[in-house]
Amino acid sequence: MVSMETAAEHERILREIESTDTNCIGPTLRSVYDGQEHGLFMEKLDVRIRNHDREIEKMCNHHFQGFVDSITELLKVRGEAQKLKSQVTETNRRLQDDGKEVSRQELKQCRVQQRNIATTIDKLTHCLPVLEMYSRLQEQMKAKRYYPALRTLEQLEQKCLPRAGQYRFCSIMAENIPKLRTQIRDTAMSQLRDFLESIRKHSDKIGETAIKQVRTITHAHRRSRQEVPGAQDLVDFSPVYRCLHIYTVLGLRDVFENYYRKQRRKQARLVLQPHSNMHETLEGYRRYFNQIVGFFVVEDHVLHTTQGLVNRAYVEELWEMALSKIVAALRTHSSYCDDPNLVLDLKNLIVLFADTLQGYGFPVTHLFDMLLEMREQYGEILLKRWNLTFRQILDQDNYSPIPVSTEQEFRHYTSQFPLQDPELEKLSFPKKLPFSEFVPKVYCQLKEFIYACLKYSEDLHLSSTEVDDMIRKSTNLLLTRTLSHCLQYAIKKKNVGLAELVQVIINTTHLEQSCHFLEEFISNITNVPPDTVNATKLYGTSTFKDARHAAEAEIYTSLNAKIDQFLQLADYDWLAAVQGGGALTASDYLIDLIAFLKSTFSVFTNLPGKVAQTACMSACKHISTSLMQLLLDPEVRQISMGALHQLNTDVQECESFARAGPVAGFQGDTLLLAFSDLRQLLELFVQWDWSTYLADYGKPTCKYLRVNPHTALALLEKMKEMSRKNNVFAQFRKTDRDRQKLIDTVIKQLRNLIAQHHT
Report the CATH number at residue 388: 1.10.357.30
What total of structural domains would you count in the chain?
Answer: 4
Within-domain flag for 420: no
Residues 6+ apart with CB under 8 A from 500: 399
Helix axes of 146-155 and 168-215: crossing angle, nearest 10 degrees: 150
Domain identity same for 471 and 605: no
Residue 286 and residue 349 in contact, taking contact as beta carbons nearer than 8 Å: yes
Closest CA to 175 of 155, 157, 151, 188: 157
Q: What phi and psi, each to the nearest 5 degrees, are found at residue 433? A: -75, 145
Residue 250 and residue 312 in contact, taking contact as beta carbons nearer than 8 Å: no
**188 vs 249: CA distance, rounded Å:** 12
The CATH number of residue 745's host domain is 1.20.58.670
Within-domain flag for 291: yes
Domain identity same for 532 and 448: yes
Domain identity same for 719 and 583: yes
Residue 628 and residue 706 in contact, taking contact as beta carbons nearer than 8 Å: no
Max Cα distance, the chain (Å): 211
Domain identity same for 252 and 338: yes
Confidence (pLDDT) at 218: 43
Q: Is the previous residue joined to 229 through a cis bond, with omega within 30 degrees of 0?
A: no
Mean pLDDT of 445-473: 90
Closest CA to 528 of 457, 627, 459, 595: 457
Within-domain flag for 93: no
Within-domain flag for 563: no
The set of long-range contacts for 697-703, using a CB threshold of 8 Å and a minimum separation of 24, is 697/753, 698/757
Domain identity same for 251 and 148: no
Helix axes of 588-603 and 540-567: crossing angle, nearest 10 degrees: 160
Domain identity same for 617 and 736: yes
Among the three residues 336, 362, 388, which one is the final residue of a domain in this structure?
362
Q: What is the DSSP letter of 431?
A: E
How many C-beta atoms lie closer than 10 Å to residue 611's C-beta?
21
Confidence (pLDDT) at 733: 58
- Let me know the angle formed at the C-alpha of 232 by 228 and 237, rounded to the nearest 5 degrees: 140
Domain identity same for 583 and 694: yes
Within-domain flag for 338: yes
Residue 213 and residue 281 in contact, taking contact as beta carbons nearer than 8 Å: no
Q: pLDDT band at 729, cuts 50/70/90?
A: very low
Mean pLDDT of 349-353: 91
Mean pLDDT of 297-304: 89
- Does this model's pTM top 0.95? no
Residue 229, pLDDT above cutoff 60: no
Within-domain flag for 651: yes
Confidence (pLDDT) at 232: 61
**Most confident option among 61-65, 92-96, 120-124, 450-454:** 450-454
Domain identity same for 536 and 573: no
What rounded mean pLDDT belongs to the chain? 83
Residue 199, pLDDT above cutoff 80: yes
Within-domain flag for 28: no
Quick one: what percent of the chain has pLDDT higher than 90? 20
Within-domain flag for 73: no
Confidence (pLDDT) at 24: 65
186 in the Ramachandran plot: left (φ > 0), alpha (ψ -120 to 50) or beta?
A: alpha
Q: In the chain, what are the helix, strand and coil shares in percent, each to the nearest 5?
A: 80, 0, 20
Sign of CA dihedral 174, 178, 181, 186: negative
Confidence (pLDDT) at 730: 46
Q: pLDDT band at 161, cuts 50/70/90?
A: low
Domain identity same for 709 and 584: yes
Domain span at residue 713 reads: 569-757
Among the three residues 530, 554, 578, which one is the final residue of a domain in this structure?
554
- Three-state SS for 263-327 is HHHHHHHHHCCCCCCHHHCHHHHHHHHHHHHHHHHHHHHHHHHCCCCCCHHHHHHHHHHHHHHHH
Domain identity same for 224 and 327: yes
Among the three residues 362, 388, 423, which one is the final residue of a domain in this structure?
362
Q: What phi and psi, each to the nearest 5 degrees, are found at residue 3? A: -75, 160
How many C-beta atoms lie closer than 10 Å to residue 208's C-beta?
19
Mean pLDDT of 563-585: 84
**209 vs 691: CA distance, rounded Å:** 105
Domain identity same for 574 and 550: no
Closest CA to 715 of 644, 627, 626, 622: 644
Q: pLDDT band at 307, cuts 50/70/90?
A: confident
Which spans in 397-497 are helix H?
A: 407-416, 422-426, 438-457, 464-477, 484-492
Residue 192 and residue 302 in contact, taking contact as beta carbons nearer than 8 Å: no
Residue 695 and residue 701 in contact, taking contact as beta carbons nearer than 8 Å: no
Q: What is the DSSP letter of 536?
A: P
Residues 6+ apart with CB under 8 A from 719: 638, 639, 640, 641, 685, 743
Residue 227, pLDDT above cutoff 80: no
Domain identity same for 515 and 391: yes
Residue 585 CA: distances (Å) to CA of 140, 582, 647, 651, 653: 127, 9, 10, 11, 9
